[in-house]
Amino acid sequence: MILYVVMETAEKYQSGNWQHQRLILEETSGDFCLLIHYKQLTLKMLAELQPRAIVYSGASTPFEDYDVRRTKAYQQVVLTSDIPQLGICGGHQLAAEIFGSTLGIMRRTRSNEPDHNPKYHPGQYKEWGVYPVTVLQREPLFSGCRKIVRVQQFHRSEIKKLGRDLIVLASSAACRVQAFRHSSRPFFGVQFHPEEATEAYPDGFAILRNFFRWAATRQK
C-alpha cells in the first residue's frame, strides 16, 4: 500500500480533486494508494497500516496561513520513520524545512518578462508549465533518465538554503534545488510535479517508478 498525504488546508483537502494524483501513484507503483490529510498522519497509523512508501502532495496555500509547521505528529514521521518517503513541490519544501532548510520566494518578476500566472501571487516569478531540469546525481531517483529531464512545474517559492544533511540531486536555472535526498534517512524531495507527467513529457512517470522500485528494495 502507498500512503498519499495531502499537504493542504482541511478545506482544500475536502474540496479538492485529489483522485487524479492518487490514480497516477497507483499506476506507477502497481499498488493500492490510500489518501489522507497530513493531520491524520501519525507513527501509530504507520505501524498499523505498514505502507511501503509515503508520498506528500504539493500545496498552493502559503505555509504561514495554516498550521502544518506546528503539527508534531507529521514532523515525527518525517524525522524518524524508516518508511521511504517522497515530498512533491510544497511537500518537498515543508520536509526540507523540517530538516533545517530555509524557504523563500524565487524572486520578483522582472519588467521585461511575462507573469505566467498573474492571479497567483502577482509580481512573483513562477515556474509554471514544463521546464528542463538538469540531473546532477542519477541514483536512484533518476536512474535511466537523461541528463536533462522535462517536468511539470507549478511553484513560486523554493528551498533557499539546504539543510546540512540534504544533498542536491537536480537543479534548474531558476531554482537550484529541484530535487534532494537525505544523506541517511529514506527521504527524497522534488520541487516539480512528477504525478502531472504526460505522454508528451513522460519523465515524471519514470521518476515515480524509480522511487517505488527503490522503496520496494527497502522491504527486503
> Which residues belong to the active site?
89, 193, 195
Nearest by Cα to 76 from 60, 54, 52, 57: 54
Distances (CA, A) of 132 to 77, 81, 149, 162, 202: 32, 32, 6, 21, 13
Distances (CA, A) of 71 to 147, 150, 171: 37, 34, 29
CA distance 128 to 173: 14
